[in-house]
Amino acid sequence: MKFTPGKATFVILMLISAGFVFTLLVSADDQQTESTDYEESALTAASYALPETVSFAGEEMPLQNFDTRESLDRELNATAYRHGSTLLTIKRAGRYFPEIEKILAENGIPDDFKYLACAESDLANVISPAGATGFWQIMESTGREFGLTINKEVDDRYNLEKSTRFACSYFKKAYERYGSWTMAAASYNNGFSGISEQIGIQKETNYYDLLLNEETARYVFRIVALKLVISDPARYGFHVTDRDLYPPVPYREVAVDSAVTSFEQFARHFGTNYKILKFLNPWLRKPYLTNSSGRGYIIRVPEKDARITVGS
């Protein structure tokens, strides 16, 4: 027998359906309100204002030009909101800047070039997909060209002192070629041939007037953005005290001109362990050193109690 609902049944069904739809609408509105409130509180961001004047290595940036100003604005805000990486770079600067600053000064290179190392590696011994290595991101062929030792047992690209001296040699050579520290920095990213080719095509010698590939076009602006943030972290939302910075690890130097069959035993002999020895000497790539040529090496070993936490 076929069932046919009466009027009463039909009205009841309609009321139930209407109530269900109303409930869904109220629920959706509640969810939307909650989501909106969350988004407003979690995603609020402010644009950081640029200083009136900005310079790199004593050379002023032409912020009166809209493209220069907007390029720096882009990198400054990107750096300020790249919280984790930027914060770690600020912390590492406490450990590594003193040595980098000393070597730059000894070689007559402007102090601002320490921020180039930040732009390259965030002050970490990283390896790029192309094989560029260390704080200064040095390619194997270029490193050998400038006299660095690079083999299976020793890789000077991981040696902070030697790689920084390599970078200084490059910057001097680039400055002699272009007569500008800004262009010297740009060429570190794009190479002499890449920069010189664009100078020839565009008949411009000023970095800020050259149309370059995106990476090189952003490069100096990223360096300067890091300079601004690291020099004044609080201004850009980073609340870092001196105690938050990673301190330099006190060390002394040991001269070695013979083979080392075991760096584990070598470390024990100097009152440390293999892990800390390699931390201070990441350029030693194997747990031994054959050194058949009798070449002289300087190996860093920690001072007594160098691992004790500051303030403990």
Least confident range of 94-98, 196-200, 263-267, 304-308: 304-308
Least confident range of 26-35, 57-66, 92-101, 243-252: 26-35
pLDDT of residue 304: 76
Structure pTM? 0.84
DSSP alpha helix (H) spans, 43-180? 66-80, 83-106, 114-121, 140-145, 160-178
Average pLDDT of the chain to the nearest whole number: 89
Query: For the chain, which residues make up each domain, given as ranges?
Result: 55-244, 251-302
Residue 213: strand, helix, or coil:
coil
pLDDT of residue 307: 64
Residue 295: strand, helix, or coil:
coil
How large is the average pLDDT for residues 113-137?
A: 97
Q: Is the pLDDT of residue 11 over 70?
A: no
Question: CA 26 → CA 13, 21, 23, 143, 242, distances in Å?
Answer: 20, 9, 5, 67, 52
Q: Give the pLDDT confidence of 263-291 residue by residue, as tens digits.
A: 999 999 999 999 999 999 999 999 999 99
- 121 neighbors 134 (Cβ within 8 angstroms): yes
HSE toward the beta carbon, residue 176, CA cutoff 13 A: 7
* DSSP code of residue 308: S
pLDDT of residue 72: 98
pLDDT of residue 45: 83
How large is the average pLDDT for residues 115-138?
A: 97
Q: Give the pLDDT confidence of 211-231 residue by residue, as tens digits.
A: 999 999 999 999 999 999 999
**What is the C-alpha separation between 190 and 192, in angstroms, rounded?**
7
What CATH number belongs to 55-244?
A: 1.10.530.10
Q: Is the pLDDT of residue 139 over 90?
A: yes
How large is the average pLDDT for residues 60-71?
A: 98
Q: Give the pLDDT confidence of 172-209 residue by residue, as tens digits.
A: 999 999 999 999 999 999 999 999 999 999 999 999 99
pLDDT of residue 309: 52
**First vs last C-alpha separation in the chain:** 89
Q: Is the pLDDT of residue 242 over 90?
A: yes
pLDDT of residue 306: 62
- 271 neighbors 304 (Cβ within 8 angstroms): yes
Q: Is the pLDDT of residue 39 over 70?
A: no
